[in-house]
Structures are given as C-alpha cells and as structure tokens.
C-alpha cells in the first residue's frame, strides 16, 4: 500500500514555490520521495528556499511569459531530464470593490492566475504526452465554487482554473496524463496575511467553516501526494476541495 503513494524516482516542478503553499507542497513531496524543482521569478528567493529544503534544484522563469516558460521547460527537459509531476501553484490576489476594480489589476490577475496555468501546463504536457504519462495538479481555490465581496475578478480566475483543469483532462487523459486541481479553503499564507490579521474576518471565518479554524498549509500535502501518485491513476478532471467543509455548508 505504501508504494501506491510513493513518489520515489519522480521529479516535480512546482511554480510559485519559494514561500507559502508552494513551499509547503515542495517540502511534502520531498518527504514522499520526489525530487523537487522550485520555480519563481526571483532567483534570490528561490536560492533561499532551496537552501532551507536541503539544496534542491531551482528553475527561475516568469510563468506569465509563454515564450520564456517554453524555453525554460524545454531546456530543463533536454539538459536535466523529465518532469513527471507539475504543480501549477503561482498565483496572486487583489482586493477591491468590483465597481472600483482597476482594469490593470484585473488583467494582471488573469495573467498570473490563468495564463500561467496554460503556459506551464502546455509546455510540460508536450513532453509528458511523448512519454505517455504525467501528473498535472492545478491550485484552484474555494473561490472556484464560491464568491465573496471584494474579490470578484479573483473568483473568476479560479473558476477558470477549475474549468481549464477539466479541459486538460479531456484533451490529455488519452495520452496517459492525470490532470486535477486542489482547491484550498482559507489557509494562513502570505497571500492571506491581511485577513489573518483581521480579528473580525477571522471570527467570521471560524464561524463559517465547519472545522472552526484556518487551515494549515501542511494540510494540503496529503491531497498533493495523492494526486501526484499512482493512487490517483484513474482520477481525472477533478477538483479536490481541502477547505474544512466550507463548501459543504450554508
């Protein structure tokens, strides 16, 4: 049974992994036996994160730049070897009332949260298809299913991630790929720092969530290992909510 979840001999690329959820997932996949490649735009941040994890590989590129992504992934595959697992984690948030939401911020959200998933997913999948195997895990959100005031554009982008995940599975399952998403609820991360620091919001969240608390990023690791491993060999196009029950209740 342990072999079903083992990632020994597998290599995983995780975008946006110098901090937060991406870093926690990197640590968890390493503990499950995978070789992890950290990605981000800042080489200094990547180097610091890599040192903390014991000197793992890094691959710096801007996930919103299609040509740069393609060059980086193709170069890595040619020089180092196969990327067996891709975790599309890069993302951002911008909060403002919808009637006042800046157009440039909306475009940046689209590029960072949606275009990056397409760019890196396509670049990596081209190699996976040739090998007849691969795992792609997109980080969606509780906002893939729900909305909240002040983040309508973010909600739109995460809804798109959920549907793009279904599209990836529909196109690529026949080539041996499993493409799924993890949808975190409210987790204590740098992206949510302002909300964590807001006593009124934290009180509301604890009452709204059946589990009665914020999530810890380490609680996402099990879902990622499952979707990265042989245990999920017939799971495709699925969004797995890890949210303390918030999407299950009114």
Q: Write the DSSP string, 124-191.
A: HHHHHHHHT-EEEEEE--GGGT---TT-HHHHHHHHHHHHHHHHHHHHHGGGTEEEEEEEE-SB-SGG
Token pair for 170: 């529909």
Catalytic residue among 154, 186, 187, 226: 154
What lies within 8 Å, CB to CB, of 144 at 6+ separation is: 158, 159, 161, 162, 181, 183, 239
Residue whose entry in the numeric block shows the structure tokens 């610091």: 48
Query: How far apart, in whole angstroms, are the C-alpha atoms of residue 102 and residue 110?
Result: 13
Query: How far apart, in whole angstroms, are the C-alpha atoms of residue 69 and residue 62?
Result: 7
- In a 13 Å sphere around the CA of 55, the CA atoms on its Cβ side amount to 0
Three-state DSSP at 38 gives strand
Q: Among this protein's residues, is 241 annotated catalytic?
A: no
Positions marked catalytic: 154
């Amino acid at each position: 049974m342990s072999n079903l979840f083992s990632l020994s001999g597998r290599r995983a690329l995780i975008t946006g992994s110098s901090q937060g959820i991406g870093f926690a997932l990197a640590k968890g996949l390493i503990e499950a036996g995978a070789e992890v490649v950290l990605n981000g735009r800042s080489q200094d941040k990547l180097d610091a994160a890599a040192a903390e994890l014991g000197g793992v590989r890094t691959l710096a590129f801007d996930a919103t730049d299609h040509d740069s992504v393609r060059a980086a992934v193709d170069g890595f595959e040619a020089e180092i070897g196969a990327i067996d697992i891709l975790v599309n984690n890069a993302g951002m948030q911008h909060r403002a009332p919808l009637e006042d939401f800046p157009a440039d911020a909306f475009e940046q959200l689209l590029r960072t949260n949606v275009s990056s998933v397409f760019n890196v997913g396509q670049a990596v999948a081209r190699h996976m298809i040739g090998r007849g195997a691969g795992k792609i895990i997109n980080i969606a959100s509780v906002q893939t299913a729900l909305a909240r005031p002040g983040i309508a554009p973010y909600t739109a982008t995460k809804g798109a991630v959920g549907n793009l995940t279904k599209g990836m599975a529909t196109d690529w399952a026949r080539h041996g790929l499993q493409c799924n998403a993890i949808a975190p609820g409210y987790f204590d991360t740098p992206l949510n720092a302002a909300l964590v620091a807001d006593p009124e919001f934290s009180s509301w969240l604890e009452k709204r969530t059946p589990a009665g608390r914020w999530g810890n990023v380490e609680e996402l690791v099990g879902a990622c290992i499952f979707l990265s491993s042989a245990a999920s060999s017939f799971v495709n196009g699925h969004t797995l909510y890890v949210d303390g029950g918030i999407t299950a209740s009114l």
